[in-house]
């Protein structure tokens, strides 16, 4: 199929963008489907769609997501055919027409194992046959879908990348940049593969080591008087009970250590501010909306009704011992969390309006998610066959981690709040597992857990999303109090504004502001424009490709995003000095206003030079600014403009600060 034959189809997509997601899904699905993928020009079509993504005709992230989902579905369907029909598939049409592809696919799969799912998506004619072979050879579904999703996430951007770059650059992208993008993508895939191998080896080693140590301890301890009575179990093995007991003690000790550090602000607490500031630098209104919904999974108003429904379901099924263990662990876990919270009295991070009336340590959301989801996973895995017992934890653990990350990202908790909650929750879950295995010899009916649990959880999340989310999202903003500025003291370099710092990504005081400017934002913009300062682009995908150019133009190169109190600068302008030197001025809101309601704006003036800190990349890195540069800026910006200027010098910080005031409204 030639490019000309599919052009009308691509034109139709550009005219009907609302159908784009469905069409892209079908394209990537068919391109990944067994046998069918041999006939679909996936490279051409994905490149063309990528061009429309890069030029803005199609929504970028939405279209890319549909492409990934289609690729996952295509390989998943192929895998199901092989897994379901096995050798019979060779006799079905059209598979019987391609015996050589089966042979090549089998050889490729035997040579590379699970990695063939990743490699196979990019390797010539065997590409659509690898998932079928994986299914025929009984590759475990969980292992297959891990590689399937991983390869789809890499495949969709890579196949559409050439078109994206062409569309983003509107025809101006140089071959040099395009080639560098390709090299970097390949390097990224290689790095991902290496990290996976290392992670897999370490995980296997840790698991085998834990089993070995547990067996060794059991051989040493089972002869001690009373140990068999202590570890007596109604279901499972004594070694399993010993493992749960060890996990309980390790988690409890970890919780006590973390609590001690939190109360005394030592040790692990030193990580609170860096983690908090680093996540503030990733603040985005778009992600805030999504993560606010995600954090609702751990809301007590969602989890407590779910826990109550599961307990009642156990009682209804006449599993009273299991119900007693359930209510005891969930109730005592929540109670312990509330008591520690009131005892520790750790304030939350500053600037949060939502839930400011409660203390921070530990996190009720994180603790509740660990208790309810973790203990549910433990009870469910006892019902399943041994080879399927990984499934409940594979579902529960990512959900728990997602809730914990949401609390950090939203700035509602410190890093130690999360660690303490996970440790406390793990301690109670392991204690609950120990008691349940010891006291209840009966296997629970899965309906007693899943039906009341999933139905109540779904209803509670819907109620949260429809009734509470809009209010919570509106209140979950970073609010900073407006402080009154005494103009006369400010002009003399006295008062709280004498040394204002920018809050950075890793520390509260990142860089001191070189410039404090009193006046309206429009007057500042006009003054800078009159003196030849040019707005430079923000870092985005379109502007980010210049990071791969050898000598990008100073005014076209994006400014690296820097936050002050979770906000990007309101002004980011530059003035070129040479072909690889530029001055960059960034100005932020300061939250200070005079009694006449004039706003104070704060900024940093930086000298940047084009450098190559990494192969194939270019970055404009900051050079230490000299005092004379700040003085030259003052001289240039005030010449023939209604602007007052004054230098102050703080002996403590040894840094000059330029005070500017727009006089046009004075």
What are the tens digits of pLDDT across the range 352-366? 444 456 788 889 899
Q: What's the chain's average pLDDT?
A: 77
More confident residue, 524 or 14: 524
pLDDT band of residue 64 (cuts 50, 70, 90) is confident
Output the CA torsion sign for 383, 385, 388, 390.
Answer: positive
* Cβ-proximal residues to 48 (8 Å cutoff; 6+ apart), any chain: 6, 10, 163
Specify which of 138-142, 316-320, 626-630 reaches the highest per-range mean pLDDT: 316-320
The pLDDT score that the predictor gives to residue 236 is 73
pLDDT band for 384, please (50, 70, 90 cuts). Answer: confident
Task: List CB contacts of 447: < 8 A, sequence separation 6 or more.
Answer: 313, 317
Nearest to 432 by CA among 361, 331, 336, 302: 331
Give the up-direction half-sphere exposure of residue 611: CA atoms within 13 A in the CB hemisphere.
9
Three-point CA angle 572, 181, 169, nearest 5°? 55
- What confidence category does residue 375 fall into, taking pLDDT thresholds of 50, 70 and 90? very high
Residue 421 has pLDDT above 90, yes or no: yes
- Confidence label for 622 from pLDDT (cuts 50, 70 and 90): confident
Candidate from 304-313, 419-428, 540-549, 596-605 with smallest mean pLDDT: 540-549
How many whole angstroms separate alpha carbon 538 and alpha carbon 573? 10
Helices and strands, number each (H, E), in the chain: 24, 11
The sign one gets for the Cα dihedral 322, 323, 328, 329 is: positive
Asked if residues 79 and 132 have their Cβ atoms less than 8 Å apart, the reply is yes
What are 452-507's pLDDT values in tens digits?
A: 888 888 888 888 888 877 777 666 666 677 888 888 888 877 776 766 777 665 55
pLDDT tens per residue across span 127-158: 667 777 777 777 778 777 887 788 788 777 77
The neighbour count for residue 491, using CB atoms within 10 Å, is 14
pTM confidence score? 0.61
Q: Which residue do the tokens 């993008």 mark?
A: 181
* Band of residue 65 on the pLDDT scale cut at 50, 70, 90: confident
Residues 220-269 have pLDDT tens digits of 777 777 777 777 787 777 777 888 888 899 999 999 999 998 888 888 88
- pLDDT of residue 187 exceeding 70, the answer is no
């Amino acid at each position: 199929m030639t490019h000309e034959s599919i052009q009308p189809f691509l034109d139709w997509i550009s005219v009907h963008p609302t159908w784009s997601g469905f069409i892209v899904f079908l394209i990537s699905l068919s391109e990944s489907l067994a046998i069918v993928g041999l006939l679909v020009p996936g490279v051409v079509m994905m490149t063309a769609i990528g061009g429309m993504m890069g030029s803005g005709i199609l929504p970028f992230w939405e279209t890319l997501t549909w492409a990934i989902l289609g690729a996952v579905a295509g390989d998943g369907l192929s895998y199901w055919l092989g897994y379901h029909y096995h050798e019979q598939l060779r006799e079905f049409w059209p598979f019987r027409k391609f015996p050589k592809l089966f042979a090549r696919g089998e050889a490729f799969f035997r040579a590379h194992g699970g990695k063939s799912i990743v490699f196979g998506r990019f390797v010539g004619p065997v590409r659509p046959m690898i998932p079928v072979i994986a299914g025929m050879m009984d590759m475990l579904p969980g292992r297959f879908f891990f590689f399937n999703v991983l390869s789809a996430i890499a495949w969709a951007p890579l196949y559409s990348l050439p078109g994206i770059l062409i569309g983003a650059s509107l025809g101006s992208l140089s071959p040099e940049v395009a080639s560098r993008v390709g090299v970097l993508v390949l390097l990224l895939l290689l790095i991902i593969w290496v990290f996976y191998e290392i992670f897999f080896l370490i995980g296997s080693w840790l698991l085998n080591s834990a089993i070995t140590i547990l067996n060794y301890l059991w051989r040493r301890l089972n002869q001690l008087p009373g140990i068999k009575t202590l570890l007596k179990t109604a279901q499972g093995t004594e070694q399993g009970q010993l493992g749960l007991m060890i996990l309980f003690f390790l988690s409890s000790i970890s919780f006590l250590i973390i609590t001690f550090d939190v109360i005394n602000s030592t040790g692990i607490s030193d990580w609170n501010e860096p983690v908090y500031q680093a996540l503030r630098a990733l603040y985005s209104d778009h992600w805030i909306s999504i993560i606010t919904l995600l954090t609702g999974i751990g809301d007590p108003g969602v989890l407590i009704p779910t826990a109550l429904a599961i307990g009642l379901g156990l009682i209804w099924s006449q599993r009273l011992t299991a119900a007693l263990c359930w209510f005891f662990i969930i109730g005592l876990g929540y109670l312990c969390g509330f008591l520690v919270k009131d005892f520790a009295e750790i304030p939350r991070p500053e600037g949060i309006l939502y839930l400011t009336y409660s203390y921070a340590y530990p996190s009720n959301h994180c603790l509740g998610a660990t208790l309810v989801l973790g203990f549910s996973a433990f009870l469910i895995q006892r019902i399943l066959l041994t080879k399927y017992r990984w499934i409940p934890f594979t579902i529960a653990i990512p959900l728990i981690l997602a809730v914990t990350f949401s609390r950090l990202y939203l700035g509602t908790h410190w890093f130690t709040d999360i660690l303490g909650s996970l440790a406390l929750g793990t301690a109670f879950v392991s204690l609950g597992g120990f008691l349940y295995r010891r006291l209840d010899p009966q296997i629970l009916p899965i309906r007693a857990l899943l039906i009341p649990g999933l139905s109540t959880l779904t209803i509670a999340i819907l109620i949260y999303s429809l009734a509470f989310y809009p209010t919570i999202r509106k209140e979950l903003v970073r609010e900073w109090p407006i402080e009154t500025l005494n103009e006369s003291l400010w002009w003399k370099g006295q008062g709280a504004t004498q040394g204002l710092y920018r809050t950075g990504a890793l520390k509260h005081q990142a860089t001191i502001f070189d410039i404090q400017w009193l006046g309206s934002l429009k007057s500042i913009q006009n003054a800078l424009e009159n003196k030849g300062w040019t707005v430079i682009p923000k870092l985005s995908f379109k502007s980010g490709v210049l990071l791969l150019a050898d000598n990008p133009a100073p005014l076209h190169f994006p400014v690296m995003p820097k936050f002050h109190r979770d906000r990007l600068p309101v002004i980011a302008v530059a003035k070129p000095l040479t072909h690889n030197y530029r001055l960059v001025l960034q100005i932020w809101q300061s939250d200070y206003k005079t009694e006449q309601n004039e706003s104070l704006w704060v900024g940093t003036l930086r000298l940047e030079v084009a450098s190559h800190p990494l192969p194939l990349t270019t970055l404009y890195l900051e050079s230490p600014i000299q005092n004379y540069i700040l003085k030259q800026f003052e001289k240039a910006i005030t010449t023939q403009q209604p602007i007052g200027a004054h230098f102050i010098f703080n002996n403590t910080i040894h840094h000059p600060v330029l005070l500017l005031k727009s006089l046009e409204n004075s």
